[in-house]
């Protein structure tokens, strides 16, 4: 959790990061709760997949209820 606090502090100090967060918040505010949830699930899946070792994942196999980012992002793109 300390790492997250450090990232949040960095966001507050960085002008480009504050500008990007402002744009993101404005964009998400125009979306429904379901679309916002889909966006954050896609972000979570993206970062988890980048941290998971390749041998921990089996290509073509998905867990129960797992969402693939490619399936989520087009929904958001279509709604804009």
User: C-alpha angle 72/73/79, rounded to 5°?
Assistant: 100
Residue 11 CB partners (closer than 8 Å, separation 6+): 17, 18, 21
Q: What is the pLDDT of residues 37-80, one digit of tens each?
A: 999 999 888 888 877 666 655 555 555 445 554 454 444 555 54
Domain extents in the chain: 1-30, 32-54+64-80
pTM over 0.85: no
**pLDDT of 7 strictly over 60:** yes
């Amino acid at each position: 959790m300390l790492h997250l606090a450090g990232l949040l502090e960095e966001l507050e100090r960085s002008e480009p990061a504050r500008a990007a967060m402002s744009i993101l918040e404005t964009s998400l505010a125009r979306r429904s709760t379901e679309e916002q949830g889909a966006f954050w699930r896609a972000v979570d899946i993206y970062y988890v997949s980048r941290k998971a070792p390749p041998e921990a994942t089996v290509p073509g196999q998905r867990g129960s209820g797992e969402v693939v980012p490619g399936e989520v992002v087009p929904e958001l793109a279509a709604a804009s």
